[in-house]
Chain A
Amino acid sequence: MKRFRAFLNKEFLHIFRDVRTMMILFLIPVFQVLIFGYVIKNEVKDAKVAVLDFSGDAMTAALVSKLDAANDIEIVKTFSSYDQIEASFRANEIKAAIVFENNFAEKFNSKKTVDLQIILDASDPNLANLLNSYISAIANNYAQDKNIGAAKINVSVEPRMLYNENLSSAYMFVPGTMALILMVITALMSSISIVKEKEMGTMEILLVSPLKPIQIIFGKLAPYAILSIINAVSIIIIGNLIFGVPVLGSPLLLLFVSFVFILMALSLGLLVSNIANSQQVAMFISMFGLLLPTMLLSGFIFPIKNMPLALQYFSYIIPAKYFLTALKSIMLKGLGISYIWKEVTILILMTIAFIGISIKKFKIRLDS
């Protein structure tokens, strides 16, 4: 135990003394969340909206002028068919279209319920989301003013565009960034720190010392596990305070799932360090083998559903995919463990497999 503590102490000294390591550990995560957050976040400001009015009565006219009068919406076009809406979306002239069904006022007054359809450009999910709630609010306000409580305007939303059809990734940048950062810190940094010992020749001395392989491995991984947890928590806090990304589910479950993912990433880092003999190689493998798939194939940036079939199958071996699904469920949908036990189990099994291989492959000598 004394040996292990000495080793751990040494590892923390390495981390705290290296400016680059400290930057990667503490500055980059914050910047990454802020950058992703601000890039994705959009204010609704003079959003261009078109109207397709099948009714053309006084009520729809009043609603349109009310919408146009609102600060952030600008009615730029009035159409007479759905085809025109489609063309206008393609030309990128509008961000949303509002469709009134025929005999709008009549239905409102007699049936007490009437349909209003909002078609949104979902390629910009945040803006689409905001526009949706904005337009719905105005319409419902209007309905309440007209007919105290009794009649309702049914707002149905129809997102359009080639991808992101269910708008589920409106807040995806926080879970996505978390997966990415935890991957960078844990897998990349821990593999580099192990390979560094090989490269500097210090591994030779460690192997000749009474330190057990398992002490060396855990001594290397533990500091990064601790620092990653700190990072995960700060990402969630920044996401919540600055961008309003909710944590609807249990924070404890969230921490648990993050910790499982961290362990998984650490075991991957260990595996990389077994293969790589220099820091450059370790960096390369981590970048192309771990970070890029995490970014591109996990569903963080591109939804898996819209990928070619081969890539969809490939995504099953990307650990971040399961982490993202679990995170989304907890943070955005408020679901409990019973909904995500599959993802968590897969992550745990992956961890056990990677650690098993790594410990078995850990070289107690210099060759063979």
Chain B
Amino acid sequence: MNNSIEIYNLKKSFNTVKALDNLMLTVEQGGFYGLIGPDGAGKTTLMRIITALLLPDSGSIMVGGLNPVKDYKELRLKLGYMPGRFSLYQDLTVEENLSFFAKVFDTSIEENYHLIAPVYSQIEPFKNRRAGKLSGGMKQKLALSCALIHKPEILILDEPTTGVDAVSRRDFWEMLSQIRENGITILVSTPYMEEAVLCDKISLMFDGKIINSGTPTEITSKFKEKIFILKTLHLREILKIARQMPELKSVNSFGQNLHLVVRDNLVEITEIESFIKKSCDYDFKIEPYQAGIEDCFIDYLESVENV
């Protein structure tokens, strides 16, 4: 199978800061690839190099069979790009924005309507509204429509769901899965780890490097330690107590719950329960849990810190 994006040993520094450090990445044609990592991991820099907006310091890169350093002109026809910041004309209406990008790519809204229909149909009732007056979720849908209108081979989305409410975020990911059915390769970055499970392949990115790659299940199945979830109304108090238990490798809060990682499978639920009950009488409940991508990420970060 052909690869849409092939990157070897890519390096990029801004002054003394290493943004990308020997980065390797392969995205298969038609793939739905997620780049997961916190802010500052280098996701945006990587995407800007792929879209030929930045030049790499060294390393090789192929996008859609072209080299973004040299063939950026041809590459522009093949790429759809949605930057992290909302970058459309706020003083133009929804339809004017879309029609502008269609014409710039020498096509029309009608010609590729089928492609953007799952996205655009949701904002079409507001097509005469100025883009600046749209809600965050609708802005993202418009930006996606504009990035898609010229039927790109490869769609690059830089944190499309950042700053968008939870419902719109789920909608957005569903639309992405619909779009890929047209054979469009999608590379999407996000800091929200739980979104990543929808991709066929993901890479965890940190400090300019890819620390782990594979399908979401591959990545989570690499997590060998036993992990429990603790539910309680007294999160902070119990967090403090649990962290004192030597058999627990890490205790972290995830939303309203705590995730407890057991060192070398040393202890079971009952032993943790009795350890906590010795120090307080708050109510809590511990259950077995399947490690998520975020657990893998934190596990990696803690192993790096301990070295």
Contact = CB atoms under 8 A, between A and B. Distances in A.
Interface string B91-111: 110001001110111100000
Q: Which 7 A-B pairs have the closest CB atoms?
A: A6-B103, A201-B87, A201-B85, A208-B81, A366-B53, A17-B91, A209-B104
Interface in A1-34: 2-3, 5-7, 9-10, 13-14, 17-18
26 contacts: A2-B106, A3-B106, A6-B99, A6-B100, A6-B104, A7-B104, A10-B92, A13-B96, A14-B92, A17-B91, A202-B88, A202-B89, A204-B87, A205-B83, A205-B88, A205-B101, A205-B146, A208-B79, A209-B76, A209-B101, A209-B105, A210-B104, A365-B53, A365-B54, A365-B55, A367-B54
Contact of A204 (B55, B83, B91, B106): B83
A96 B90 CA distance: 61
A contact patch SS: helix
Given A13-B91, A365-B53, A210 B86 contact: no
A201 B139 CA distance: 14
Interface in B72-87: 72-73, 76-77, 79, 81, 83, 85-87
B130 to A, nearest CB: 8
Interface in B150-209: none
A364 interface: yes
Nearest to A207: B53
Nearest to B146: A205
A211 interface: yes
B106 A208 contact: no
B51 interface: yes
Contacts, number: 75
Interface in B243-279: none
Contact of B86 (A14, A201, A208): A201
Contact of B54 (A3, A211, A366): A366
Nearest to B103: A6
Contacts of A204: 53, 81, 83, 87
Contacts of A7: 100, 104
B52 interface: yes
A39 interface: no
Interface of A: 2-3, 5-7, 9-10, 13-14, 17-18, 200-202, 204-205, 207-211, 364-368
Contacts of A17: 91-92
Given A208-B79, A210-B104, A364-B72, A200 B54 contact: no
Contact of A210 (B53, B54, B100, B105): B105
Given A2-B103, A3-B103, A10-B96, 20 more contacts: A6-B99, A10-B100, A14-B89, A14-B91, A17-B91, A201-B83, A201-B85, A201-B86, A201-B87, A202-B87, A204-B53, A205-B87, A205-B88, A208-B76, A210-B73, A211-B104, A364-B72, A366-B53, A367-B54, A368-B55
A10 B131 CA distance: 14
A210 B52 contact: no
Contacts of B146: 205
Interface residues of B, number: 30
A20 B226 CA distance: 63
A19 to B, nearest CB: 11
A10 B89 contact: yes
Contacts of B72: 364
A205 B83 CA distance: 8
A139 B65 CA distance: 91
Given A13-B91, A201-B83, A365 B104 contact: no
Given A204-B83, A210-B106, A18 B91 contact: yes
Contacts of A201: 83, 85-87
A277 to B, nearest CB: 15
A211 B105 CA distance: 8
Contacts of A208: 51-53, 76, 79, 81
B285 to A, nearest CB: 47
Nearest to A212: B73
A211 B106 CA distance: 10
A201 B131 CA distance: 14
Nearest to A203: B87
B132 to A, nearest CB: 10
A172 to B, nearest CB: 38
Nearest to A205: B87
B104 A3 contact: yes
A42 B100 CA distance: 53
